[in-house]
Amino acid sequence: MRFSEFLVRTLPKAGGVLFLSAAAAVAAYPQDKPVYLDGTKPIEERVEDALGRMTLEEKIKVIHAQSKFSSRGVPRLGIPEVWTTDGPHGIRSEVYWDEWNQAGWTNDSCVAFPALTCLAATWNTELAHLYGKSIGEEATFRGKDMLLGPGVNIYRSPLNGRNFEYMGEDPYLAGRMVVPYVQGVQENGVAACVKHYALNNHEINRHRTNVIVDDRTLYEIYLPAFKAAVQEGGAWAIMGSYNLYRDQHCCHNSYLLNDILKGEWGYDGVVVSDWGGTHDTDQAIRNGLDMEFGTGTDGLRSGARNAYDSYHMAFPYLEKIRKGEVGTEELDDKVRRVLRLMFRTSMNGDRGFGSFCSEEHYAAARAIGDEGIVLLKNEGNILPVDFGSVEKILVVGENAVKMMTVGGGSSSLKVEREISPLDGIRERAGSDVEVVYARGYIGDVTGEYNGVTSGQDLADTRSADELIAEAVAQAKDADYVIFIGGLNKSKHQDCEDSDRKGLGLPYDQDRVIEALAAVNDRLVVVNISGNAVAMPWIEEVPAVLQAWFIGSEAGHSIADVLSGDVNPSGKLPFTFPARLEDCPAHLLGEYCGEPVKDTVDIEYKEGIFVGYRWTDRQKKTKPLFAFGHGLSYTEFEYGKPTTDSSTMTSDGHVTVSVDITNAGQRAGKEIVQLYIADRKSSLPRPVKELKGFEKILLQPGETKTVTFTIDVDDLSFFDPEKHEWVAEPGRFDAIVAAAADDVRGSVSFELK
């Protein structure tokens, strides 16, 4: 695509700013075609050429917002704006230039892809790439240059309202899943903006939490997924988090941004502030921030100056340069990074046109949902449902009908369609099966966020007793009862800027489930949430599915798994604790669940022992469901693991192989997990750590060999005294497992 064609496509989003045509930009200079306009030249040459042509004022303008979601280009040089959009589960609807209010477009209803917890639960890196590629195509079609996602913050507490946007508790799993997602997005010429860097592990007091964590924990638990996104995924953008670390806000945190991200990792992309995450001009200048968005001066106001010029990195920065208080070295580095971003995205002549709300994207969303649903329990093999042999199915629960794409914070979406679980079940059951619905409980009857409404009227004046009585009466003669409940995306559930109040289900759902279990022994509970929930009724319910927020194709995916059209293959990306006190963040008291006015220190006293790393050490307490747990409608048999060598040198590797056989009657996918255990270490280490996984498809009776390659990085821990990764000589165990609590075999070797 020629650059002039690109400018024509870009003009409608310019917000009234007139860009020069390519011809005009060239004509402005008597010499040959400017290097920055020549897409055949290396990006670094184009960056330096464009930088040298920019005025001081133009440099300042490209590093801060000019609207809610865009930053200014350089009209004089024909360099377009940068347009961002919220993700990471779909392309957010359009708002006015200076307001959060809806712009009222009729062509901005997107495909909602499953939440990232669901993607992580697939343990399928190919699906992660498909996800990124598909959402990147939607962003390209809508004229967006940067997708504000994905999120890879570690699941530290099940109360975190934003866990549904992240990829679980294990840094290795999150790292393996984020890399192909980023690559898929950026294949479209759209930057993936990986967030929230770093240590954003709960929402309450998110602007006032100062995290206290040791370097070993930082490097081993909370940074690896970001590092993988940068060094392996090649992420072009990183978003800072709201919280503080070492008494500096993370959007301008010298240690995180200058020392680690840009120093140790060699990051060449931009650091973007979260909206409202910039607080100090001097720190913003010196501590690694490149693009400032959403500072509290949004909106145009009367007066001598545009309100966006009041941002920390706008007029205040310009004045400091003019007065000689700061130099331009930091500014030029920021502008280089922004220009590099532009040449990769908005000035990328090879960028296609993308596609929007295509059947391919709906198919991708459904495939991810199908593989992300986790079968937690299936006592008596009551699942799958044989729709050809049943007459009546009762579906109970508000979440069977409530739209889940609206709400939850900045990931809220305006969708073209959303298939409800009830509709999906009815569609799959067909006309020969009576599918009856009973409300069961009343939760959140609203359906609005930021001007987008679901259009549903869920108001109900009946009492809780009346609702339960109706459900129980219908359940008595039903062949199956399917309760679809869990959390939703309202405040204090799975929602940005608030945390849950406790581990239990809201709206007295436990009472409904227990009443149904008392009258029907073919009860299936489908829990829709992005978080673990307590299940005091677990012994009374024979089958439980974890279904996540699946997006546009939610009902189809749930019906696919209930019916057995799809054999469940998802596994948990985080631990389901039996009690909140079983989580070290709460057991050790370093979690603040109430709003505070001043900055509060939160020490991560559990250190590296997060999730299964903690539960593995406990002798008296067991999780409700372990990390990596997930059942199937078939059975998989594991052979004895073998290794190609009993010794390994520091510059070599060993391979571990294991045969997996489908011993059942259905085709199915199994996720084989590899953990490493260090028998003796100078520093405390977890009982085992995930260092590999592979998802394989097996036909009935088929056997496949899964092989893992282990190198020195897989054996290493971070030594805070040396400030480096260390692998100590000694004996290690390679543990093959179906879940963190389901070890199938091990083999040992020695690091020489």
CATH code, domain with 551: 3.40.50.1700
b/e map of 579-598 (b: 16 or more CB within 10 Å)?
ebebbbbbbeebbbeeeeee
Strand 668-678 with 689-698, pairing: antiparallel
Cα 727 versus chain centre, distance: 31
Q: Is 270 helix (H, G, I), strand (E, B) or coil?
A: strand
pLDDT band at 98 (very low <50, low <70, confident <90, very high): confident
476, exposed or middle or buried, with CB in 10 Å at 0-12, 13-18, 19+? exposed
Whole-angstrom distance, CA of residue 402 vs CA of residue 422: 10
CA dist 297 and 187 (Å) reads 34
Tokens of 707: 């092989």
The SS3 of residue 492 is coil
pLDDT in tens, 311-347: 999 999 999 999 999 999 999 999 999 999 999 999 9
Q: Could you tell me which of 269, 280, 204 has the C-alpha nearest to residue 243?
A: 204
Judge whether 302 and 60 are in contact, CB under 8 Å. no
Same domain, yes or no: 334 and 396: no
Residues 6+ positions from 687 with CB-CB distance below 8 Å: 613, 616, 617, 677
Task: Write the pLDDT tens digit of every residue in 535-589.
Answer: 999 999 999 999 999 999 999 999 999 999 999 999 999 999 999 999 999 999 8
Beta-ladder partners of 83? 70
- The half-sphere exposure of 285 on its side-chain side, counting CA atoms within 13 A, is 20
- Same domain as 703, residue 645: yes
* 620 in any annotated domain: no
Would you state the structure tokens that stand for residue 659, as one six-digit string? Answer: 């045969």
SS3 content of the chain, % helix, strand, coil (to 5): 30, 20, 50
Residue 659 has pLDDT above 80, yes or no: yes
**368 within 8 A of 617, measured Cβ to Cβ:** no
As a whole number of angstroms, the distance between CA 253 and CA 199 comes to 12
Residue 5 pLDDT > 50, yes or no? no
Last residue of a domain, one of 535, 566, 597: 566
Distance CA 354, CA 1 (A): 13
Main-chain phi, psi angles of 125, to 5 degrees? -70, -25
**Which is more confidently placed, 531 or 296?**
531
Kindly indicate the confidence band of residue 296, based on its pLDDT and cuts at 50, 70 and 90.
Answer: confident
Q: What predicted TM-score, i.e. pTM, was given to this entire model?
A: 0.96
Residues 35 and 145 in one domain: yes
Taking the C-alpha atoms of residue 392 and residue 481, their distance in angstroms, rounded to an integer, is 9
Question: CA-to-CA distance for 233 and 240, rounded, in angstroms?
Answer: 18
Domain stop point among 344, 362, 390: 344
**8 A C-beta contact, residue 416 and residue 452:** no
- pLDDT score, position 24: 61
pLDDT at residue number 317: 98
Residues 702, 641, single domain; the answer is yes
Residue 399 and residue 528 in contact, taking contact as beta carbons nearer than 8 Å: yes
Q: For position 701, what pLDDT does the model report?
A: 98
In the 8-state DSSP scheme, what is residue 364? Answer: H
Q: Are 414 and 110 in contact (CB under 8 A)?
A: yes
Instruction: Write the DSSP symbol of residue 611.
Output: T
693-728 pLDDT tens trace: 999 999 999 999 999 999 999 999 999 999 999 999
For residue 28, report the phi and psi dihedrals to the nearest 5 degrees.
-70, -15
Percentage with pLDDT > 70 across the chain: 95
Q: What does the alpha-carbon distance between residue 440 and residue 249 come to, in Å, rounded to a whole number? A: 45
Instruction: Fill in the DSSP letter of residue 227.
Output: H
Helices vs. strands in the chain: H and E counts, helices first: 19, 29
What is the DSSP pairing of strand 730-739 with strand 668-678? antiparallel
Q: Is the pLDDT of residue 293 over 90?
A: yes
Residues 166-181 have pLDDT tens digits of: 999 999 999 999 999 9
Burial of 510 (0-12, 13-18, 19+ CB in 10 A): middle
Are 198 and 314 part of one and the same domain?
yes
Per-residue model confidence (pLDDT) at position 301: 60
Give CA–CA dist 176/186, Å, rounded. 17
CATH of the domain at 183: 3.20.20.300
User: Which helix or strand (DSSP H or E) is residue 465 part of?
Assistant: helix 464-475
How much is the average pLDDT of 511-536? 98
Report the distance separating Cα 397 and Cα 420, nearest Å: 12
Please give the distance of CA 563 from its chain centroid, rounded to a whole number.
Answer: 28
Residue tagged active-site, from 86, 108, 145, 274: 274
Q: Which of 714, 720, 646, 724 is nearest to 684 (CA)?
A: 720
Taking CB atoms within 8 Å and a gap of at least 24, the contacts of 25-34 are 25/77, 25/78, 28/76, 28/77, 34/77
- Is residue 392, in this structure, part of any structural domain at all? yes
Report the C-alpha gap between 343 and 337 in whole angstroms. Answer: 10
Q: Residue 359 contacts by C-beta under 8 Å, 6 or more apart in sequence? A: none
pLDDT of residue 386: 96
276 and 405 inside one domain? no
If asked whether residues 143 and 24 sit together in one domain, one would say: yes
Instruction: Report pLDDT for 20.
Output: 54
Q: Kindly report the CA angle at 741 between 736 and 746, in degrees rounded to 5?
A: 25
Give per-residue pLDDT as tens, 455-487: 999 999 999 999 999 999 999 999 999 999 999
Kindly state whether residues 340 and 377 are assigned to the same domain: no
Asked, for residue 272, whether it belongs to a domain, the answer is yes
Residue 592 lies in a domain: no
Q: Are residues 558 and 646 in the same domain?
A: no
Structural domain tally of the chain?
3
Q: Are residues 306 and 381 in the same domain?
A: no
Q: Per-residue confidence at 27, pLDDT binned at 50, 70, 90?
A: low
Could you tell me which residues are beta bridge partners of residue 737?
Answer: 673, 743
Distance (Å, whole) CA 700 – CA 113: 31
369 pLDDT above the threshold of 90:
yes
- Please check whether residue 619 lies inside any domain of the structure: no
Q: Which of 566, 593, 611 is the last residue of a domain?
A: 566
Q: Does pLDDT of 373 surpass 70?
A: yes
Q: In which band, very low, low, confident or very high, does the pLDDT at 591 lie, cut at 50, 70 and 90?
A: confident
Please indicate, yes or no, if residue 586 is contained in any of the structural domains.
no
- Tell me which of 16-20, 68-72, 557-561, 657-661 is least confident: 16-20
Q: What mean pLDDT, rounded, does the chain reach?
A: 94
Which pLDDT value is given to residue 306?
77
E strand map for 625-739: 636-638, 642-643, 647-648, 653-662, 668-678, 689-698, 703-711, 717-719, 724-726, 730-739
Report the DSSP pairing between strands 653-662 and 642-643: antiparallel
- The residues, any chain, with a CB within 8 Å of residue 538's CB and separated by 6 or more, are 377, 544, 624
What is the span of the domain harbouring residue 209?
Answer: 3-344
E strands present in 569-648: 600-603, 636-638, 642-643, 647-648
CATH number assigned to the domain comprising residue 643? 2.60.40.10
d(CA 66, CA 189): 22
Catalytic: 170?
no
> CA–CA separation, 210 vs 221, rounded Å?
18
List strand residue ranges (DSSP E) for 333-471, in order: 374-378, 392-396, 434-438, 448-449, 452-453
297: tokens are 């001066």
Average pLDDT (392-418) is 97
Same domain, 243 and 332: yes
Of 561, 586, 576, the closest CA to residue 627 belongs to 576
* 95 located within any domain: yes
Note whether 85 and 152 are same-domain residues. yes
Query: Does 150 sit behind a cis peptide bond, omega within 30 degrees of 0 on the bond before it?
Result: yes
Q: Which of 431, 425, 670, 429 is nearest to 558 (CA)?
A: 425
Q: How far apart are CA 83 and CA 679, in angstroms?
A: 51
163 CA to centre of own chain: 8
- Using alpha carbons only, give the angle 326, 330, 334 rounded to the nearest 5 degrees: 140
The confidence score (pLDDT) of residue 351 equals 93
